[in-house]
Copies of this chain bind each other. A is one copy, B any other.
Amino acid sequence: MTDLHSPDCNCTIIHADVLEQVDAQLPDEDLLFQLAELLKVFGDTTRVRILWALSLHELCVCDLAALLKMTATAISHQLRILKNMQLVKPRRAGKVVYYSLADSHVTQILNQGFEHINEE
C-alpha cells in the first residue's frame, strides 16, 4: 500500500487500519472524477428543469425555450452538455429536433434527490 501520510496532511492521529481498507475499496481517482463530471451536469437549475420536463414528454428546443421562458440558444447550449454526457438523445424531424431522456438513470437520480429534499 502507498503511504497515506502525504505532506499535505499534517495530522498525527489517523486510523491507519481503517484508512487502508477504505483506500483499497475506493474506486480509482479518475473514475470518481468522471462520476463528479456526470453529477455536475445535474447541478444547474436550467438543466434540471430541462431533464424533468423531458421526463414528462419528448420536447423540441423551442418547446423547452417557451416552457422555461429562455432563449432557444441558451437551451441549445445546455442540451449539448446533456447530450455529450449521454443524458438526452436527439431525434430530428425536418427542421425540428426533439429531445428525450437517454436512459432511466436520469429519473432515478432526480427522484432520489427530490426525496432527499422532501424529507426535512
Contacts and interface: CB of A to CB of B under 8 A. Distances in A.
Nearest to A4: B66
Interface residues of A, number: 69
Interface of A: 4-6, 8-15, 18-19, 21-23, 25-27, 29, 31-45, 47-49, 52-53, 56-57, 59-63, 65-67, 69-72, 86, 96, 103, 105, 108-110, 112-117, 119-120
A56 B15 contact: no
A1 B100 CA distance: 24
Contacts of A56: 21-22, 25-26
A103 B116 contact: yes
B26 A53 contact: yes
